Amino acid sequence: MPSGGPGGERMSSDPKFAQLVAKKPLKNKVLFGIFTAIIIGLLALSIITLQGRGNQQTMHPDSVSPDGAGALGSIIEDRGATITVVRTADEALDHEGTILVWDPFSLLTERERESLIESGRPVVAVMDEGRGASLWLTGNPRAFSSSSATPTGPNCSVDWVSDLDAIDGATWGIDTNNIPATGCFPVTSGHYLAVEGNVSVFASPEVFTNDYLDRAHNAAVAIRALGHTDSVSWIIPTETTATDSSISAVPPALTGALAGFAIAALWYGICVRRPVGPLIPESLPVIVPSAESARGRARLYERGGNAGHAGKALRAGTIARVAARLGIPSEATPENVISRISEASGWHPDRVSQVLYGPPPTTDRELVDLAHELTALTKELIHD
In the listed set 189, 208, 242, which residue is the last one of a domain according to the structure? 242
Would 254 be classed as within a structural domain?
Answer: no
Tell whether 187 is covered by a domain.
yes
> If you average pLDDT over every residue of the chain, what do you get?
80
Tell me whether residue 274 is in a domain. no
The whole-angstrom distance between residue 297's C-alpha and the CA centroid of its chain comes to 43
The CA-CA-CA angle for residues 63, 105, 214, to 5°, reads 35
171 within a domain of the structure (yes/no)? yes
Question: How many domains are there within the chain?
Answer: 2
User: Which neighbouring-strand residues pair with 84?
Assistant: 233
Structural domain includes residue 286? no
Query: Each residue of 91-150: pLDDT tens digit?
Result: 999 999 999 999 999 999 999 999 999 999 999 999 998 899 999 999 989 998 876 667
Last residue of a domain, one of 191, 219, 242: 242
Do 181 and 97 fall within a single domain? yes
| Structural contact between residues 46 and 256, judged by C-beta atoms closer than 8 angstroms | yes
* pLDDT over 70 percentage in the chain: 73
Same domain for 120 and 219: yes
Same domain, residue pair 219 and 135: yes
What percentage of residues in the chain have a pLDDT greater than 90? Answer: 40
The answer to the question of residue 135 being in a domain is yes
pLDDT digits (tens, 9 = 90+) for 162-194: 999 999 988 899 999 989 999 999 988 789 999
Which one of 21-30, 167-176, 244-253 scores highest in mean pLDDT? 167-176
Residue 213 lies in a domain: yes
The pLDDT tens digits for 313-324 are 888 888 888 888
Q: Judge whether 248 lies within some domain.
A: no
Please give the residue range of the domain that contains residue 61.
Answer: 57-242
Work out the average pLDDT over 44-62: 69
Last residue of a domain, one of 221, 242, 263: 242
Q: Which residue has the higher pLDDT, 229 or 282?
A: 229
Query: Rounded to the nearest 10 degrees, what angle do helices 334-345 and 364-381 cross at?
Result: 60
Give the CATH number of the domain where residue 214 resides: 3.40.50
Whether residues 210 and 316 fall in one domain: no
Same domain, 238 and 310: no
